[in-house]
Chains A and B, each alone.
Chain A
Amino acid sequence: MKKIIITGIILLLFLGYAPYQELNDLAVVDFMALDFKDNKYKLYLNIINMDNTLYELEGDSLGEVFFKAKNVNNKKTYYNHLSVTLFSTSILKDKELLTFLKDEFTNIDYVTIGTKDNIEDILDKFHQSSEYESFITKEKEDLGSIINVTFKDLLSDRMDDIKTPLIPLITIKDDVLHSNGGYLFSKDTYLDNNISKASYLISNKITSYSQKVEIDDKYYEVFLSNLKTIINYKDNNLKITIKGDINSPDTDNLEKIKEIVISDLKNDVNSFILVELDKYKSFSNIINYIYLKEKDKPFDKYKDAKKEIVIDLKKKEKSNYD
Chain B
Amino acid sequence: MLSEEIKNAFGNATDLIVRPFIIDNREITLVMSEVMGSSSYVNDFILKKLLDLKFTKEDIIDELLNNIPTNNGKILTTLEEITDYICMGFALILYDNKAIAIEARSTLDRGIGEVSNESTIMGSKDAFNENFNTNVGLIRRRLRTNELYVDGLFVGKSSKTKIGILYMHNIATLKNVNDIKERLKNINVDGIIDSGYLKTYLDTKTNLLFPTITSTERPDLASQALLEGKIVIVTDNSPNVLITPTFFVDYLHTPDDYYGKAINTSFVRIVRFIAFLTAIFIPALYIALTTHNQDILPLPIFLNFASQRESVPFSALIEALFMSISFEILRESDIRKPAALGSSVSILGGLILGDAAVNAGIISPIMIIVISISAISGLAFSSMEMIGALRWWRFIMMILAMFYGLFGIFVGFIILLASLVTTSSLHVPYLAPFSPFIKNEIKDTLIKGESKKIRKRNPLLTKNIIREVKK
Contact = CB atoms under 8 A, between A and B. Distances in A.
A81 B316 CA distance: 21
Interface of A is mostly: loop
Interface string B4-47: 00000000000000000000000000000000000000000000
B154 interface: no
A80 B291 CA distance: 14
A81 to B, nearest CB: 5
B468 interface: no
B303 A28 contact: yes
A251 interface: no
Given A23-B305, A81-B302, A107-B295, A13 B403 contact: yes
A321 interface: no
Interface stretch (B94-102, B232-240, B307-315): B307-315
A106 B296 CA distance: 13
B306 interface: yes
B295 A18 contact: no
Nearest to A23: B306
A20 B315 contact: yes
A127 B277 CA distance: 43
Contact of A49 (B306, B315, B403, B405): B306
Interface string B412-449: 00000000000000000000000000000000000000
A78 B292 contact: no
Contacts of B307: 24, 49
Contact of B403 (A16, A22, A24, A48): A16
B291 A20 contact: yes
Interface string B266-299: 0000000000000000000000001110110001
Contacts of B405: 18, 20
Contact of A18 (B294, B306, B403): B403
A73 to B, nearest CB: 13
A18 B302 contact: no
B402 interface: yes
Contacts of A107: 295
Nearest to A2: B208
Contact of B291 (A14, A22, A30): A22
A219 interface: no
Contacts, number: 59
Nearest to B411: A13
Contacts of B251: none
Interface string A4-25: 0000000001101110111110
B292 A80 contact: no
Contact of A78 (B290, B294, B310): B294
Given A13-B403, A22-B291, A81 B299 contact: yes
A26 interface: yes
Contacts of B309: 22-24
A243 B24 CA distance: 126
**B contact residues, range:** 20 to 34
Interface string B308-329: 0110100110000000000000
Nearest to A107: B295
B250 to A, nearest CB: 28
Contacts of B305: 23
Contact of A21 (B291, B302, B303, B400): B291
B404 interface: yes
A28 B306 CA distance: 10
A24 B307 CA distance: 7
Contacts of B400: 13
A21 B402 contact: no
Nearest to A80: B295
Nearest to B288: A20
A78 B305 CA distance: 15
Contacts of B303: 28, 48-49
B299 A16 contact: no
Contacts of A21: 291-292, 294
Nearest to B303: A49
Contacts of A14: 403
A23 B302 contact: yes
Contact of B290 (A13, A22, A83): A22
Contacts of B306: 23-24, 26, 28, 49
Interface in B303-362: 303, 305-307, 309-310, 312, 315-316
B94 to A, nearest CB: 57
A17 B400 CA distance: 10
B295 A106 contact: yes
A218 B306 CA distance: 54
Interface in A59-112: 78, 80-81, 83, 106-107
Contact of A20 (B295, B299, B312, B402): B402
A24 B312 contact: yes
Contacts of B290: 22-23
A14 to B, nearest CB: 8
Contacts of B315: 20, 22
14 contacts: A13-B400, A13-B403, A16-B403, A16-B404, A18-B404, A18-B405, A21-B291, A22-B309, A23-B290, A28-B299, A49-B307, A78-B294, A81-B295, A107-B295
Given A16-B403, A24-B312, A83-B299, 8 more contacts: A13-B400, A13-B404, A16-B404, A17-B403, A20-B405, A22-B315, A81-B295, A107-B295
Interface of B: 290-292, 294-295, 299, 302-303, 305-307, 309-310, 312, 315-316, 400, 402-405
